[in-house]
Amino acid sequence: MGLGRWSEAVRERAKAALHRPSPYGPDLDVTSFEPGLSAGEPEPELVSQTGLDLERAKREAMYVQVDQALVKYFSKVPGVEVKCLERLLEEEPDVAKEYLWRLLDPATDKYTAIAALKGAGGYFVRVKRGAKVEVPVQACMFIRSSSLQAPHNLVIVEEGAEATIHIGCLTMPEAAALHAAMSEIYVERGARLKMIMVHAWNAVTHVRPRTVIKVEEGGELLSYYMNLSKVKSLQTYPLVKLAPGARAYIASIILGRGGAEIDVGTKVELEDASAEIVSRVLARDSSRVYARALLSGPSGQGHIECSGLMLSDEARIVMYPELDAKGPRARLTHEASIGKLSEEEINYLISKGFSREEAEGILVRGFMNVELSFLPERLQKYVSSVLDVMKKMATM
């Protein structure tokens, strides 16, 4: 099938789902959002909130998109290729047809559908076989106008390769937009991928990313996701498929602020593999946060750890840890808890000379801690700096 016929087949499937709602999160009329094509580079002071260092990335590897307009992309790192999606379609149509819309179905819901019909841009990152890459590929998705941003991202980490991708997604304060990024990620046999994604939206933006990650035999995925914004609504439920001998560690730190409605989670399918899902949820103001986690498979080992911290009498946290053992060799466990800051611990810190505000900040920062030893020192600093920003936003 030629590229034209393949593209038309994708569009036809998408058209059938243009009004199909997601089973989770508030519904939206996606047809009311039109693609935006703002010019210029993203504002550096806003981008820095996500931990990205675009000045340093100019010497390494980066992808930058504003609304649906490509700003720049390149790689100066041996073994790492970075392109925009349109260039991939033009230069390597067989690769595009082999990998795009294979893990994701354009007819899944209205968000996959609108991305297939009106989306543009997105990064293609390919890490060559056996390459061991220490510096991160940095990708920035910036929204400047009240519009639709629907990039399609494709990552291929070839056999035995190792790489890190750091993604920052954010909007200007006044932009009422819909972000519906599609991401398909392939971690081949014995490869290792570390991902850091930070969302910094605004109080009038809706966010509906869709992600599927396939990890082949002996591969490894380390994923860190952080939301620190007053987003209008956020709904995402990534799927990770683990082949025998594969491993995944997936950590999410979610801060609900203002009147945000947030429904996030991760589903992992495993067979003779291992997975750990860790989530930290903080809810303040009148936010609503629904945290989901599902481990499913006939065999293998997995654990879910969900913790929620209530920072307001008006906020709400609901947790859905689920285990689906499809055979006797599945060893799956979970623990979940929701609470508030301990007055006893606050008073103890005050007795040591801290103010109440400082004491609360220390406890919130401690609550957000997740395992970072998997990351190189430079990336541990990235994550720690973002967590410090989240602490301030949680307690201000």
CB 391 within 8 A of CB 364: yes
Q: Which two tokens stand for residue 263?
A: 């429904």
Residue 146 zone, left/alpha/beta (φ > 0; ψ -120 to 50; rest):
beta
Report d(CA 385, CA 396) in Å as an integer. 17
Tell me phi and psi for residue 345, to 5 degrees: -70, -35
Q: What sign does the dihedral 204-201-38-21 (CA atoms) show?
A: negative
Residue 256 structure tokens: 């609900």
Contacts 24+ apart (CB under 8 A), 382-386: 382/51, 382/166, 382/196, 383/51, 383/196, 383/224, 383/226, 385/51, 386/49, 386/50, 386/51, 386/198, 386/226, 386/228
Q: What is the amino acid identity at position 108?
A: T
Closest by Cα among 122, 127, 181, 139 to 52? 139
Q: What percent of the chain has pLDDT over 90?
A: 82
Residue 288: which of 264, 261, 266 has the closest Cα? 261
Element housing 198 (H / E): strand 192-200
For the chain of 396 residues, list the mean pLDDT of each consecutive stretch of 10. Answer: 90 96 95 86 87 89 95 96 96 96 98 97 98 95 95 98 95 93 98 95 96 98 90 97 98 94 97 97 95 97 96 96 96 96 92 90 87 76 77 75
Kindly state the tokens that stand for 328: 């006797």
Residue 308, token pair as written in the block: 């929620």
Measured distance CA(216)–CA(222) in Å, rounded: 14
User: Three-class SS of residue 120?
Assistant: coil
pLDDT at 343: 92
Burial group, residue 282, by CB count within 10 angstroms (0-12, 13-18, 19+): buried
Q: Name which of 192, 215, 358 is nearest 297 in CA terms.
A: 215
The rounded Cα 257 to chain-centroid distance in angstroms is 18
CA-CA distance, 291 to 314, in Å (whole number)? Answer: 17
Give the Cα-Cα-Cα angle 298, 301, 306 (nearest 5 degrees). Answer: 110
CA-nearest of 353, 352, 354, 366 to 394 is 366
